[in-house]
Structure 1
Amino acid sequence: MPTNAALAVPPLSPPLALPERPALFLDMDGVLAPITATPGGVGPDGRRTRVLSRLLERFDGRLAVVSGRTIAEIDRICEGVVPCVAGIHGLERRGADGQVQRLAPHPDMAQVLDALLEFARDRPGILIEDKGLGVTLHYRQTPEQAGAAGEFARALAETHGLTLQPGDMVQELKTPGADKGRALTAFMEEAPFKGAVPVMTGDDLTDEFAFTAAAGLGGFGVLVGPPRETAALYGLTGPEAVMNWLETLTERP
């Protein structure tokens, strides 16, 4: 979480209105989709696809999904309807022109993947997700492993010079050089986002970078889920509340 964030005092009220000419940035898990026991538990949803399609038309393309998932996974879940996507916390990013920018993976990533697979071998319920530019250790199915998982991930990150990104029952080790705030800022420098006012909706600590970036560009963040210290100005209770809010945006003139 950025140390210079202006902390809000929870609980937060839902956003009542958007600024003129907004640009919407949406996280995936915990925001557009409920968090599931395994990453593969999230799939396409007709309501979500329809709402995203309408928002793209309503805001002239000024909508992007900014997620820890890969671009390929975001496209699968959103049925390919969202052109602008940032995956793996901004390590890969696709603009409105369809071009994908992707950082080179850290040279030790394969070694780190092997170490995590070995860690998981004798710990049933722990899942290792290889994203190429990063590796995620999931322990949602075995929460008693939280301490061991965190300690092991921290040691690996320090040894190999990787960025450690803790999340909701996950530890992610990723190639340094990007975060969701940088991804949002990069989108805002390009069409169709340039000159708009960014609104970032997210649920976890990885989204704080984007909340802060949005605020610095005249916009704001919307925190999804339980109240906590945050740089977001508004709040929604969960993915269902997010979808209800987004539906109201498609209906406004």
Structure 2
Amino acid sequence: MKLPAHDGLAAILADPAGAVIGLDFDGTLSPIVADPAAAAVHPDAPAVLADLATLVGAVVIVTGRPPGTALALGATPAGPSLADVPGLVILGHYGMERWEAGRISAPPPPPGLDLVRAELSTITAGMTGVLVEDKDRAVAVHTRRCPDPEAALASLAEPVARLAEQVGLVVEPGRFVLELRSPGMDKGRALSAFLAERKARSVLFAGDDLGDLAAFEAVERAGIPGLRVCSGSAEVVELAAHTDIVVDGPAGVVAFLGAVVEALRAGR
């Protein structure tokens, strides 16, 4: 893949030790599937990230998934897994949980989740194809498997919003999903804090969904050269208007990062 001309990318290539590479998981490193539990990392992603991690300041995954789930889905039948990426940090639950060097740190789960689980069973009763995903510190409602996913999502928006308000949670919309999670943190805040922690001099963030807009905005506000990469799809078009480069899904992200690795090695 030929790398495009961009000031943010040029800064990363010129000073890789100061670069932070941030990535979403679902839709960016892992293809979207109907059942979230059946997701799997792109088979080439761990090896590319392992190579990249030896060349840049830091690689961080910022995801709505729990870190342990991302790690489990980040294993490949042959070759390295995400857990093998040197120095990798995973900020899960939009930054509420952190995995680093084999350890997870996190605050207590938010109150009200038991009520959310019970009420969602009632709200979604009789809706064919709706999937309620328990993420331990959050709960997500998926409509991708419904006969009419968009209509199902629209019908759930108001009752899910009322439920979230009742228990003090927020609703994170996504690709045929509504997630109820703790307030006070999003991917943008998580990425900004990590950039400050690592004293980053440049940043790249790749994402695919509405929840990644906050991270894209964090790249814009960071005050350092940055590059926003959209893992493109026909389902979400809003992100493309806020990005610098659009690639073709997770395969495109992996190919792009592989080209970055080659360019960094050539510049040594």
TM-score (norm 1): 0.85
Q: Could you tell me how far apart the structure 2 residues matched to 1:24 and 1:18 are?
A: 14
2:254 alignment partner in structure 1: 243
Question: Helix, strand or coil: the match of 2:206?
Answer: strand
Indicate the structure with greater helix content: 2
Instruction: Label 1:222 to 1:55 Cα distance change in 2 as closer, same or farther (>3 A).
Output: same
Q: Are the aligned partners of 1:70 and 1:88 in contact in 2 as well (CA < 8 Å)? A: yes
Q: Are the aligned partners of 1:15 and 1:234 in contact in 2 as well (CA < 8 Å)? A: no
> Shift of the alpha carbon at 1:228?
2.9
Query: Larger RCO: Structure 1 or Structure 2 (Cα < 8 Å, ≥ 6 residues apart)?
Result: 1
> Shift of the alpha carbon at 1:207?
0.8
1:188 alignment partner in structure 2: 195
Q: Could you tell me how far apart the structure 1 residues matched to 2:155 and 2:42 are?
A: 35
Q: Could you tell me how far apart the structure 1 residues matched to 2:242 and 2:113 are?
A: 32
1:125 alignment partner in structure 2: 129
The AA in structure 1 aligned to 2:20 is A
Instruction: Label 1:167 to 1:56 Cα distance change in 2 as closer, same or farther (>3 A).
Output: same
Corresponding position: 1:64 with 2:60: yes
Q: Could you tell me how far apart the structure 2 residues matched to 1:231 and 1:81 are?
A: 32
Output the aligned Cα RMSD. Answer: 2.1
Deviation per CA, 1:174-232: give whole Å up to 9, x if none.
01121001111221233xx3233121111111111111112222223222215436433
Q: Could you tell me how far apart the structure 2 residues matched to 1:29 and 1:55 are?
A: 20
Deviation per CA, 1:81-113: give whole Å up to 9, x if none.
343001111121234x55533233221111111
TM-score (norm 2): 0.81
Q: Could you tell me how far apart the structure 2 residues matched to 1:166 and 1:45 are?
A: 24
Q: What count of residue pairs does the alignment treat as equivalent?
A: 237
Instruction: Label 1:35 to 1:48 Cα distance change in 2 as closer, same or farther (>3 A).
Output: same
The AA in structure 2 aligned to 1:231 is H
Q: Could you tell me how far apart the structure 2 residues matched to 1:46 and 1:234 are?
A: 22
Instruction: Label 1:128 to 1:43 Cα distance change in 2 as closer, same or farther (>3 A).
Output: same
Q: Could you tell me how far apart the structure 2 residues matched to 1:34 and 1:91 are?
A: 24
Deviation per CA, 1:119-170: give whole Å up to 9, x if none.
3342231111111221100110011412222122111112222111010000
The equivalent position to 1:204 in structure 2, one of 199, 203, 209, is 209
Q: Could you tell me how far apart the structure 1 residues matched to 2:4 and 2:153 are?
A: 32
1:228 alignment partner in structure 2: 238
> Shift of the alpha carbon at 1:14?
5.7
How do 1:20-99 residues align onto structure 2 when only pairs under 5 Å count?
20-21=15-16, 22-60=19-57, 62-78=58-74, 79=81, 80-82=83-85, 83-95=88-100, 99=103
Q: Could you tell me how far apart the structure 2 residues matched to 1:182 and 1:195 are?
A: 15
The AA in structure 2 aligned to 1:52 is L
2:107 alignment partner in structure 1: 103
Corresponding position: 1:147 with 2:146: no
Q: Are the aligned partners of 1:182 and 1:210 in contact in 2 as well (CA < 8 Å)? A: yes
The AA in structure 2 aligned to 1:131 is K
1:9 alignment partner in structure 2: none
Instruction: Label 1:49 to 1:209 Cα distance change in 2 as closer, same or farther (>3 A).
Output: same
Corresponding position: 1:174 with 2:170: no
Quote the sequence identity (%): 31
Structure 1's unaligned 5+ residue stretches are: 1-12
User: Quick check: 202-211 or 45-54, which moved more?
Assistant: 45-54
